[in-house]
Amino acid sequence: MNKITSIFLLFSILITGNVSAQATAPVTPEFLQYENSKWVDSIMKTLSPDERIAQLIMVAAYSNRGDEHRKEILKLIKEQKIGGLIFFQGGPVRQVRLMNEYQAHSRVPLLGAIDAEWGLGMRLDTTISYPFQMALGAIQDESLIYDMGAEIARQIKRTGLHLNFAPVLDVNNNPNNPVINYRSFGEDKYNVTSKAIAYMRGMQDHQLLTTAKHFPGHGDTDTDSHYALPQINHSRARLDSLELYPFREVVKAGIGGVMVAHLDIPALDPTGVPSTLSKPIITQLLKEELGFQGLTVTDAMNMKGVTVGNEPGIVDKDAILAGNDLLEFTEDVPKAIQEIRKAINKGLISQAEIDRRCRKILAVKYWVGLNKFEPTSLINIIEELNTPRANHLNKKLARASITVLKNENNILPVKKLQGLRIASVSIGVEEQTNFQKTLSRYTRVSHFNLKNEGSAGDIHTLKNELGNFDLVIAGIHDDSKFPRNTLKISAEVQSFLKELVSEKNTIISLFKNPYVLDKLENIEKAAGLIVTYQDTQNYQELAAQLIFGGSGSSGKLPVSVGEKFKVGEGLVLEDGLRLSYAIPEDAGMDSGILNKRIDSLMQEAINAKAIPGGQVLVARNQKIVFHKAYGTQVYHDTIKVKKEDLYDLASVTKISASMAALMKLYDEDKFHPNQTLSNHLPSFRRSNKAEIPYRDILTHQARFQPWIPFWKNTKRKNGSYKWATIKNDSSARFPIRLTNTMYLHRNYPDKIVKEIRKSPLREEKKYVYSDFFFILAPRVVESRIDTDFSSYLKESFYEPLGATSLTFNPLAKFPKSRIVPTEDDYNFRHETIHGTVHDEGAIMMGGVSGHAGLFGNAFDLAKLLQMYLNKGEYGGVRYINEETIEEFTRRQFPDSENHRALGFDKPYYNEKGESRNTAQDASASSYGHTGFTGIMVWMDPEYDLLYIFLSNRVSPTRENSRLYRLNTRTQIHQVLYDAIKKFGE
């Protein structure tokens, strides 16, 4: 380019700048009002000319380096009087401790900065990383991004810092960009701008200064300026219309700072110098044309994009001459001050101009509160950086960004579960992922893993296995925490994926950079395609929840992916089909209350040997917000309780099996509370129970005896078993297994029924809890169906709900290690009860009864109980009519002392108005049940609240009543209501 052309270009820039200045009205950054404040004046008077230069210098500090580094920083503070520090890697406690020390040795408070584009987790351990900007670019609700900015401001300030080098305003229109890419909000300039302004305002509204970067636009390059000087060869018109657009708009919006990149942009400065050193770009374009008055900051002055061919110190001087106010990461501070002093002496820049920039730095310090500096407290800093609300926000951001690109035949969310054979394949990992574990919470899923470089043999074996499944869910995982545009999958695995999406009903979840989709042939043919933008626990769990309708999607693709998908694509899927997994704040509950108090109460019970261990699950608004396992399976062992463990649900079987079946039959006009046992069981037509309505029976006021110890009738007075009761070996006549050496006569269940039929009635009609009817319930149900009780429940409820662990006789389906033992039985079975029902009557009925015998884990029990809370609907399926749920769960005799519903328990109170069986604050509409083995479940429609407490308090003996005396279950129940009240304060 010749000299005349250069002059013409410079003249054009100046003219354009004048026109723009007249057409726009940039907002003056707030901190500038303090440039001439008394505090700034007082500091200026104390500074020598060289110290005023030093205020423009910010050096790099680390909290993960040794004492030698600490001494180097202290020396620069004491001897060179630098103005600030930018912190890089380390930890929050170490950083705060160092910053406090550095501040103590600085006569003028130091300005502290950090490069925290996605939060402190970008630099510091034990802190939160929010989604990368590309994921944020998919979010449609920008108030979430504002909230993130506000929260990041709080966290950065909590670590003693004042300036965040964010947000990134680069428009990433080059998929091969190695340095910006996922750090950009995307390729659409309007989306980039609106997201950046929301992020900026969230921070600056909460007194944290921000810097828009990397001016004038680093998005369209395939060179990383950390290692070389990228060149951008677009015309001025193109730069104006695209790259400069976001910067122009954030200046109008009042951004406090702008960071200048190391770029060679001939259309803006034909000399070839990096933009960081370019007066036409910084002074003339940014300050004069765009009207920016805030803090102009260099990108790191140690990057190859600016250091190649430029000496330390001299390059810093050139950056100041170009118009920068703040030098970031100066490598040679004494030399930089010396070179800037020489430039002043030569008349290249005036001392007055240096003073003006110094005042600007001091004004920033005043605005962020350094005029009243106090050391940062270390007390509770980790807890205060990782608050529940901060984690809640993180999850909300992730959920709002997930983008669904394909949903053929509405495969998402998966609705029908019964009979559906599902496999998951995690590609790029060798162990079961959180994605797969979360899938298993919804239904039975078989899991497989395939390495990125999986062999032909591995793939052949896997393909044969997948042939047995109706649906394949594949997760494509990342091997890096940074979602770069790279694909390290072998050609064989890529071919397998191509075949999979073409031939099988397949859902793909990509936990990688969306640009990778362009490198996967036929990926667009998947029936379902989900993009999460990065591979974190949050994203893995949310993607799995989305697949089964626990979570929804609203994200829109922020970039185009070749010819396959265009920017802005994304399907909206509603949530709420099934239970989701969230944090308490997501459901209006205080997690601090829940975690601390439930943990404390459970530990108290374990320490008192009331229970060896247990589980607590809490769901509100169809969100599981708390689920923890505590202690061990038994006292004398070290096997810790796992959330997947199955418990003997004891009398909770009544509402989880019997009442489910009876309510369904009621809907089908095959059962009615006004009918009697004689309507279903002919043998009861001439009994003393023939005319007693089920309404009285199910509310326990039928005058039935509480119980009969049926097992005692198997024995003679000398303790031996009667001939027609129990044998050591199984046979056609003795098929009912009690233990490996005890088999019950096939007719004994009929004998139990006969004993119930002949049992006398109590004289007074009042509430007396009895198991009798529920022992009969399977026969009542079976009188109106074409299958057995257990199969009916499985086919009608458990399988369609995905509640695959709810089962009778669990040893037939699950390993013993997954089943929690109950009592050491020294009276009847003479062994530890492990894997079979604790209740003697239930085991004598073959392990299948309506009063006890059901096993399950909290995950699956929650699905059934949530269906009740949903008035009979779950997963898009109507199981029981709404009116039926309301009828069966209401108090049947409100004008009497009987507090019961039909089969369900209800709250009841003593004469002082104190609850005797549930939380004091449980509503009158709530209902549930307890179990003898230490179980409690409770549902409260008024609060849409579900509570499950699982334990084996009968281990090693049923005589242990400490759980009752401690009142642990109801105390924990009250904690849930306290957490709701606390959140609302």
What's the gap between Cα 484 and its chain centre? 23
CA distances from 417 to 471, 516, 803 (A): 11, 31, 10
Q: Which fold has domain 595-672+788-984?
A: Beta-lactamase (3.40.710)
In the chain, where does the domain assigned CATH 3.40.710.10 lie? 595-672+788-984
Q: Looking at domain 3-384, which CATH architecture does it have?
A: Alpha-Beta Barrel (3.20)
At position 210, the amino acid (one-letter code) is T
| Residues with pLDDT less than 70, the chain | 1-24
The pLDDT of residue 16? 40
Q: Which residue has the tokens 């040997």?
A: 609
Rounded CA-CA distance 269/275 in Å is: 8
The pLDDT of residue 10? 41
Among the listed residues 775, 810, 748, 816, the one whose alpha carbon sits nearest the alpha carbon of residue 653: 775
The pLDDT of residue 24? 54
- Contact criterion met (CB below 8 Å) for 928 and 936: yes
Report DSSP letters for 131-170, one per residue: PPHHHHTT-S-THHHHHHHHHHHHHHHHTT--EE---B--
Compute the 3-state secondary structure of the chain and give helix, strand, coil in percent, each to the nearest 5.
Answer: 40, 15, 45
Phi/psi zone of residue 751: left (φ > 0), alpha (ψ -120 to 50 degrees), beta?
A: alpha
Q: Does domain 402-578 have CATH number 3.20.20.60?
A: no
The pLDDT of residue 304? 87
Give the phi and the psi of residue 582 in degrees, each rounded to 5. Answer: -140, 180
CA distances from 458 to 496, 698, 740 (A): 11, 57, 41
Give the phi and the psi of residue 493 in degrees, each rounded to 5. Answer: -70, -40
What's the gap between Cα 567 and its chain centre? 26
Task: Give the number of other CB atoms < 10 A from CB of residue 564.
Answer: 16
**Core vs surface per residue 938-974: b (16+ CB within 10 A) or e:** bbbbebbbbbbbbbbbbbbebebeebeebebbbbbbb
Task: Give the number of other CB atoms < 10 A from CB of residue 475.
Answer: 27
Contacts with 895 (C-beta within 8 Å, 6 or more apart), sequence order = none
Say whether the peptide bond before residue 413 is cis (omega within 30 degrees of 0). Answer: yes
- Contact criterion met (CB below 8 Å) for 433 and 445: no
In the chain, where does the domain assigned CATH 3.40.50.1700 lie? 402-578
Find residue 58's DSSP bridge partners.
84, 328
Q: Any idea what DSSP says for residue 693?
A: B
What's the gap between Cα 608 and its chain centre? 34
The H or E element containing residue 650 is none
